[in-house]
């Protein structure tokens, strides 16, 4: 598990560099920020605070995993991050269902609710391009936790959490629809917003910005460099 010596001000992991406002080069960037160069940073690992709620949660999860005879906390969790006051556990994808089940059922944890699933695409993060974030809520203990899991573009498989949290069903379908994440074990992984025969996943950062036929209307959207310019 990656750790640093500070709690909420942590080192960052730079996964790429963005050029322009939308990553578009040349005449396609009509934002006026074509010369902008900005690193794509993600929060680095954090040591849980001594004696706080986050530390208590990590200690409880460590003990609960040990009692199940499964992976240790350090085997299951790649990184602990406290950023903006929010605790996030980065879970190795093969251990995601067991960690979620433990968080749901252990009396000291009791995260009874999953509030959804959201996808993120970091095209420059080699081996970790696709991320899925699950916000969990404990009604019993009145606290929240984020689980984050990643997969490479070359193998976009992540275990589904529908058997642990049935309410993730449509959220995982939407994440598949827009990002192309394949949730293994999902009961019906089909598109939920785009037409069934739509090609590609439109919220990925490598998806073209324009010129894509709107398949259900027969119209087209002109590429950014062919749209009307204002001077």
pLDDT in tens, 72-119: 999 999 999 988 889 999 999 999 999 999 999 999 999 999 999 999
Whether 28 has a pLDDT exceeding 70, the answer reads no
Rounded CA separation 49/4 (Å): 11
Does the pLDDT at position 6 exceed 90? no
Burial of 132 (0-12, 13-18, 19+ CB in 10 A): buried
Residue 103 lies in a domain: yes
Count of other CB atoms within 10 angstroms of residue 6: 12
* Cβ atoms within 10 Å, residue 183: 23
Query: How many alpha carbons lie under 13 Å from residue 158 in its C-beta half-sphere?
Result: 32
In a domain, residue 24? The reply is no
Q: How many domains does the chain have?
A: 1
Burial of 116 (C-beta count, 10 Å sphere; 0-12/13-18/19+): middle
How confident is the model over 152-209, as pLDDT tens digits?
Answer: 999 999 999 999 999 999 999 999 999 999 999 999 999 999 988 888 999 998 887 7
Domain harbouring 152, CATH code: 3.30.460.80
Are 175 and 191 in contact, with CB atoms under 8 Å apart?
no
CA distance 191 to 178: 9
pLDDT in tens, 130-143: 999 999 999 999 99
Expressed as residue numbers, the domain containing 64 is: 44-226
């Amino acid at each position: 598990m990656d750790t640093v010596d500070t709690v909420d001000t942590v080192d960052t992991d730079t996964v790429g560099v963005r050029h322009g406002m939308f990553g578009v080069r040349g005449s396609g960037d009509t934002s006026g920020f074509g010369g902008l160069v900005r690193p794509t940073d993600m929060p680095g690992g954090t040591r849980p605070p001594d004696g706080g709620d986050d530390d208590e949660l990590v200690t409880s999860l460590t003990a609960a995993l040990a009692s199940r005879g499964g992976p240790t906390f350090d085997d299951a969790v790649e990184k602990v991050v406290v950023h903006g006051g929010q605790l996030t556990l980065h879970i190795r994808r093969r251990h995601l269902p067991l960690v979620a089940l433990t968080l749901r059922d252990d009396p000291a944890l009791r995260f009874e609710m999953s509030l959804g699933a959201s996808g993120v695409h970091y095209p420059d993060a080699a081996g970790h391009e696709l991320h899925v974030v699950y916000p969990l809520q404990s009604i019993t203990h009145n606290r929240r936790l984020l689980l984050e899991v990643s997969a490479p573009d070359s193998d976009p498989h992540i275990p589904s959490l529908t058997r642990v949290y049935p309410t993730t069903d449509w959220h995982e379908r939407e994440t598949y629809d827009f990002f192309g994440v394949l949730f293994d074990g999902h009961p019906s992984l089909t598109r939920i917003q785009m037409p069934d025969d739509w090609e590609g996943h439109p919220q990925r950062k490598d998806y073209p910005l324009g010129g894509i036929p709107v398949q259900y209307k027969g119209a087209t959207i002109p590429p950014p460099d062919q749209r009307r310019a204002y001077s």
